[in-house]
Structure 1
Amino acid sequence: MATQLSLRSLLDNDKLTGPNFSIWLRKLKIVLEHERTMYIITDPTPELPPANARVAVRDAYQKWTSDRITVRCIMLAAMSDEFSRRFESAQPNEIIQVLNESFGVPDDDKRYSTSCCIFNAKLREGASVTDHVLYMIELIERLSKLGFSLHEQLGKDAILNSLPDSYRPFLTHYRMTKPVLNFHGLLGLL
């Protein structure tokens, strides 16, 4: 019998206490993604199928119900006793909503801090350009997930602007040839 890897232990050391909500939520999402149940906290609740619904529709609803119970138990087990008692009768999406309202960072703050990181980033001389560009791409994607997509060319400009003076010859050549590249293509050139 094959053993199944469980990432639930990620939540053991960081039980939800309130101020650690963002760390807890990030780890919860890793666990739920691994268990293929993330949809329980991201998708709307499906409607109860009518009695005469097709078997496939009823089975899908039954799977959703079963997954919701699993996710709810994972969440409650990963909370301090105080939070576990407070949310013992709540459903996963309700729990996330209340916690986000209480402890989540407002999107404006996230957008501002992410934008500042993008436009103020500078690669240190001798540091890994690959790590730096991947970090910049991650920031640009994070900004997009917040609903503020950065035009691709502006994102590439931010990456190029973050390079130190030792990349000046590359920048001159890049501007002269004007290659059509996405972020990862730009990384390949660097």
Structure 2
Amino acid sequence: MLLITLQFEEKEYVLEKELNEIDKITATPEGLAEYMTHCNDATKVSCIMLATMTPELQRFYKDYWPYEMNKDLMEKYHKVPHQGRYEIVISFITSKMKDGEIVTSHLQHMQQYVDPLLKLNVNFNEELAIDIILHSLPRCYDQFIMTCHLNKEETTLSQLQSLLRTADSGMKGKSIPSLI
């Protein structure tokens, strides 16, 4: 949310560019104007950042410029990309459809793992995603899974979702054995 606001106001540069003091006597008029603009923008951004923090963090960061605040917060709280990726992958491959869960909500749940992995530039093809989703289904879908594996044509993720919805509607009213 902060970054969106700063981009709208064209002030996100203060998070990436350190505010260095300049010698006001020897500075050119352009250099002085640039410094003053940066200083004013940094003050505004600092106020926005502090307003979104807990009182404890506000006291700690009250004398920081946005660049230093951002750098320190990233070092303290930002997950290392491979750690975040690992946690998402583990959750994705160990996820199982819950007893009584509607297949559509399970597919949405599984998609919540795929999207962040794609944003992290994790290289996995659609076939692997389909295999993981098929693995997450309960035993009552074994016939469906076997049919998918015997199918000679390539199936896309969206086709799989459609096929699963159709199979799920065909299972309505039938007793689904418990996985326990």
Which bin holds the TM-score, normalised by the shorter protein? 0.5 to 0.7
Report the more deviating stretch, 158-167 or 140-149.
140-149
**8 A contact 1:140–1:150 mirrored in 2:** no
Q: Is structure 2 residue 136 aligned with structure 1 residue 162?
A: yes
C-alpha spacing 1:36/1:97, structure 2 compared with 1 (3 Å): closer
For this pair of structures, how many residues does the alignment match?
A: 145
**Aligned partner of 1:143 among 102, 108, 117:** 117
C-alpha spacing 1:140/1:169, structure 2 compared with 1 (3 Å): same
Q: Which residue of the partner structure matches residue 101 of structure 1?
A: 75
Residue 149 (structure 1) shift:
3.0
Q: Distance in 1 between matches of 2:88 and 2:110?
A: 10
**What RMSD over aligned residues (CA atoms) do the two structures have, in Å?**
3.6
**8 A contact 1:32–1:71 mirrored in 2:** no
Q: Which residue of the partner structure matches residue 175 of structure 1?
A: 149
Larger radius of gyration: 2
Query: Mind listing any 5+ residue stretches in structure 1 that lack a counterpart?
Result: 1-28, 46-50, 52-61
Q: Is structure 2 residue 100 aligned with structure 1 residue 126?
A: yes
Query: Mind listing any 5+ residue stretches in structure 2 that lack a counterpart?
Result: 18-29, 31-36, 165-180
Q: Deviations over 1:104-146 (max 9, x none)?
A: 3333322222111111111123212112212212212222333
**8 A contact 1:76–1:87 mirrored in 2:** yes
Q: Is structure 2 residue 161 aligned with structure 1 residue 187?
A: yes
In the superposition, the TM-score normalised over structure 1's length comes to: 0.58
